[in-house]
Amino acid sequence: MFAPAIGPTLTGLILAKLSWQWIFWLFIPFLFIALIFAITSLENVGEITKPHIDMLSIIESAVGCSGLVIGASLASEDGWTSPTVLSALIIGIIVLIFYTHRQLHLEEPILNLHIFKYAAFTIGSSIVMLDFGIILSTMYLLPLFYQRGLLVSVALTGLVMLPGGIINAATSAVAGRLYDSIGAKRPVLIGFVLALFGALMLVFTTSHSALLYVICAHIILMIGCPLAMSPAQTSALSTLSGLESSDGSTIMNTMQQVIGALATALATGCLAWGSSSISGSEAIRFTNGFHYGIYFAIILIVVALLLSFKIKDQKN
């Protein structure tokens, strides 16, 4: 979690002096170093089974997920009733239905969806996905609010994002240990209550809010979300055993990518909707759009909080 903690700060410092393309140029040395380590030092720790790769499943997953993400992304500009948006969403949903049916009937599926028969895994993985959506949507909205709502410079935006990022990393390190001592339910519940409190603080921001107030709200949010994330994920995966454990990990990693893209796209749509719903200065309109995006995050928090009550800690 160290990299996500300092990422926004480094990005802000880079953009203060260079163009946005330099963010990607500066990635290249690190990617090259990672590639060398992967080739020379990465070893397989599990048994290589060489399962059959079903190309139709891969195509269906790519088309289905892309349809949902593209539809949600275009909705912020074209509206949800746009033929393009509706076509993308409908195609995505239909293809994913076929994909799900295929995975449930293949002998060697790309994703073993049969593990969703375990209620603990279904609840835990759903909470993780919601939590991931909360984190990504708010982390997308906050830097924009600093710059366009509070009129803070790009470099300063990176710096004020740093405390929340550090707290996120520190809380993640502690949250995993809490599961071993008190189980998953209490940390998850406490985490989402804190996240809800932090999100509600952000709802009451204005274009003249003090930076310290927004930073505090961010910190509270970044205590709550990772506090819920690790115990929920451990609870979900602990239900599985053997090859099912790797299936569960694969499913959660895949869902995180899709949910992350969808959450960001939906937050963008809420931002555009709120910004266009009132008149006034650009800062005032953007702040209202920011609030709409936070409303979306609050909905995710409330749903996750309600699901948290269904977690059943395993007795030793």
The Cα 191–Cα 227 span in angstroms is 5
What does the DSSP 8-state code read for residue 297?
H
* The predicted structure's pLDDT at residue 4: 62
CA nearest neighbour of 255 among 131, 72, 83, 120 = 131
Query: For 105-109, 175-179, 185-189, which range has the lowest pLDDT when averaged over its residues?
Result: 175-179
Structure token digits, residue 308: 């948290």
User: Which amino acid is residue 72, in one-letter code?
Assistant: A
> Is a pLDDT exceeding 60 seen at residue 316?
no
Domain ranges of the chain: 50-110, 113-316
Would the CA dihedral through 207, 211, 212, 218 be positive or negative? Answer: positive
The Cα 146–Cα 128 span in angstroms is 27
Global pTM?
Answer: 0.86
| Residue 250 binned pLDDT confidence (cut-offs 50, 70, 90) | confident
* The predicted structure's pLDDT at residue 1: 55
Q: How does pLDDT run across 35-81, given as a tens digit for each residue? A: 999 888 887 766 666 777 889 999 999 999 899 889 888 887 787 88
**Share above pLDDT 90 across residues of the chain, in percent, rounded to a whole number:** 49
* The predicted structure's pLDDT at residue 212: 96
Q: How does pLDDT run across 109-152, given as a tens digit for each residue? A: 888 898 999 999 999 999 999 999 999 999 899 999 999 999 99
The Cα 89–Cα 211 span in angstroms is 39
Q: Kindly report the three-state secondary structure assignment for every residue of 240-264.
A: CCCHHHHHHHHHHHHHHHHHHHHHH
Is 184:313 a contact under the CB 8 Å cutoff?
A: yes
* The predicted structure's pLDDT at residue 284: 93
Is 189:209 a contact under the CB 8 Å cutoff?
A: no
Across the chain, mean pLDDT equals 88
Would the CA dihedral through 288, 19, 17, 261 be positive or negative? Answer: positive
Q: What is the mean pLDDT of residues 191-198?
A: 97
**Share above pLDDT 70 across residues of the chain, in percent, rounded to a whole number:** 96
The Cα 288–Cα 155 span in angstroms is 24
Is 92:75 a contact under the CB 8 Å cutoff?
A: no
* The predicted structure's pLDDT at residue 315: 58
Q: What is the mean pLDDT of residues 176-181?
A: 81
Is 171:131 a contact under the CB 8 Å cutoff?
A: no
* Location of structure tokens 């948290």: 308
Query: For 79-88, 217-226, 302-311, which range has the lowest pLDDT when averaged over its residues?
Result: 79-88
Q: Does domain 113-316 have CATH number 1.20.1250.20?
A: yes
